[in-house]
Amino acid sequence: MVVRSALRHAAFKPALGMLLLAPLAYLVWGAAMDALGPNPAETLIRSTGELALRGLCLALAVTPLRVMTGWPEWARLRRMLGLIAFTYAVLHLLCYGWLDMGFEWGEIARDIAKRPFILVGMLTFVILLALALTSFNAAIRRLGARKWQLLHRGVYAAAGLAVLHFFWMRAGKNNFGDVAVYGGILSALLGWRVWRFYTNRSNSKVSNADSRSRIR
Ligand code: HEM
């Protein structure tokens, strides 16, 4: 299979990482050349926000792809995809804090109180920060696999909050087209997990009942 041999190739992961960071290079170039349109600050804030959300969708697509194809190679992309989503979220926060708010902390606090979607964005960011800080092997050893897994389920909350942040921001503009696309993708990715959880549970109940009846 061509896709599987590409996935196994040592160059695949760095090449994918570079591809996903290419929009960042474009944004830096655009900002330097003054080529980001009439409102470069808005372009930077919105693009980095959307790129963070895309990164989150890609990271959440890894497990379904691994299970559906039966190829364990997908799993080695997950941490990188999560960290790329986090990188864009950091840039998004920095662009907002710097270009929109001029790092005026009082202004930022007032903005959080005035616009709830900013608070939701902050919450999303805090979750992503906790996941990024504990995404290394040393953290898994320190926390223990069970606690680490529980903490990293926070990615589902982050995904839901990110869509809520996007929805709330667009609600003022009555423009929900893109929100519906991301909401649909994330619902499919999370819905698949719920469906798998229940089918695995009922399958294991059936096989337990089978083995009990064989013992009897
Ligand atoms: C760190 C706290 C955050 C703050 C302060 C924040 C702030 C903002 C602001 C000011 C906008 C633009 C509003 C406008 O132009 O009217 C925005 C848009 C957006 N943000 Fe955030 N955000 C945060 C976190 C996040 C995170 C973590 C994600 C995704 C994982 C995210 C995804 C988005 C998206 C998708 C948009 C809309 C982009 C578009 O219009 O295409 N934000 N955010």
- pLDDT tens digits, 17-26: 999 999 999 9
How sure is the predictor about 182, in pLDDT bands with cuts at 50, 70 and 90? very high
pLDDT value, residue 71: 96
The answer to whether the CB of 87 is under 6 A from ligand 1 is no
Tell me whether residue 31 is in a domain.
Answer: yes
The answer to whether the CB of 125 is under 6 A from ligand 1 is yes
**Helix and strand element counts for the chain (H, E):** 10, 0
Tell me whether residue 38 is in a domain.
Answer: yes
Cα 214 to averaged position of ligand 1 atoms, centre (Å): 57
Instruction: Look at residue 176 and give its three-state secondary structure.
Output: coil
The answer to whether the CB of 169 is under 6 A from ligand 1 is yes
Q: How many domains does the chain have?
A: 1
Tell me whether residue 187 is in a domain.
Answer: yes
Ligand 1, atom 24: nearest CA belongs to which residue? 121
Q: Which residues contact 170 (CB under 8 A, 6 or more apart)?
A: 176, 178, 179
189 CB neighbour count, 10 Å cutoff: 20
Stretch 122-141: mean pLDDT: 97
Asked if pLDDT for residue 63 goes beyond 70, the answer is yes
Tell me whether residue 212 is in a domain.
Answer: no
Q: In angstroms, how far is CA 4 from the centroid of its own chain? A: 24
The answer to whether the CB of 48 is under 6 A from ligand 1 is no
Domain that holds residue 32: 2-200
Asked if pLDDT for residue 158 goes beyond 90, the answer is yes
58 CB neighbour count, 10 Å cutoff: 21
Asked if pLDDT for residue 118 goes beyond 90, the answer is yes
Tell me whether residue 33 is in a domain.
Answer: yes
| Phi, psi for residue 9 in degrees, rounded to 5 | -65, 140
Tell me whether residue 208 is in a domain.
Answer: no
Tell me whether residue 113 is in a domain.
Answer: yes
